[in-house]
């Protein structure tokens, strides 16, 4: 007999504001210490350790040793997809004391979404690449091929091929009720934009800054 999945265990692990704040911070794709995540969640480091154990036990977070530090990451892209989907259904913002990012348009304009680009810029790029025949029209969760790399944006960023499947996955963008690109192409685009200096990471949080040069170059390519 096949039992139904125990989604309550996962929901209970997520369903605490401090743990939710930690998961949102980990959506930047980087590794974080318990102390750093405690600061994000507005709790003591000892309390953060207990919360992180709960997230690890639920399979949402994994921890690795780096010298004397214990570093925490999301357990994988499937967890990031779950968190992004939940944000599309959630109330607009966490309580002010649990904000991992400033409540401004910065997060809505461009942000890191577990290794790929989200926000208004990510949605705009996804729509344009579909219009230009680079990718298929995709619904949230769909995967698909890259039909051509002969596109001004991809050429300028030096994206000529992809090694890791799937080439393209559509990720629901909670802030714009549309999709941005995950998968290998989404990762390559974020890496290329950062390497070109068109985007910059901010000191804290997931929000990314579009540099003046980046705005100019994107405008020249028709992304306004």
Considering the domain architecture, whether residues 116 and 88 belong to the same structural domain is answered as: no
Number of domains in the chain: 2
Using one digit for the tens of pLDDT, what is the confidence trace for 38-54? 998 989 999 999 999 99
Which pTM was predicted?
Answer: 0.78
Residue 174 has a pLDDT of: 81
Q: Could you tell me the CATH number of the domain that includes residue 26?
A: 1.10.10.10
| φ, ψ at 112 (rounded to 5°) | -80, 130
pLDDT(103) > 80: no
- C-alpha 41/C-alpha 38 separation (Å) is 5
Considering the domain architecture, whether residues 211 and 118 belong to the same structural domain is answered as: yes
Q: Is residue 1 part of a domain?
A: no
């Amino acid at each position: 007999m096949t039992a139904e999945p125990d989604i309550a265990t996962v929901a209970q692990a997520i369903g605490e504001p401090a743990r939710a704040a930690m998961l949102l911070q980990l959506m930047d794709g980087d590794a974080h210490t318990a102390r750093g995540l405690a600061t994000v969640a507005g709790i003591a480091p000892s309390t953060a350790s207990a919360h992180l154990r709960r997230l690890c036990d639920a399979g949402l977070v994994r921890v690795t040793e780096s010298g004397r530090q214990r570093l925490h990451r999301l357990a994988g892209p499937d967890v990031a997809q779950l968190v992004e989907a939940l944000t599309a259904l959630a109330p607009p913002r966490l309580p002010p004391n649990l904000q991992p990012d400033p409540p401004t348009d910065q997060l809505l304009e461009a942000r890191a979404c577990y290794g790929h680009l989200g926000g208004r810029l990510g949605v705009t790029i996804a729509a344009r690449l579909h219009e230009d025949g680079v990718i298929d029209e995709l619904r949230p969760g769909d995967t698909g091929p890259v039909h051509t790399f002969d596109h001004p944006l991809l050429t300028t960023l030096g994206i000529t091929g992809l090694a890791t499947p799937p080439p393209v996955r559509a990720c629901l963008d909670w802030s714009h009720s549309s999709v941005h690109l995950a998968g290998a192409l989404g990762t390559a685009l974020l890496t290329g934009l950062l390497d070109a200096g068109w985007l910059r990471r901010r000191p804290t949080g997931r929000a990314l800054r579009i540099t003046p040069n980046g705005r100019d170059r994107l405008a020249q390519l028709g992304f306004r």
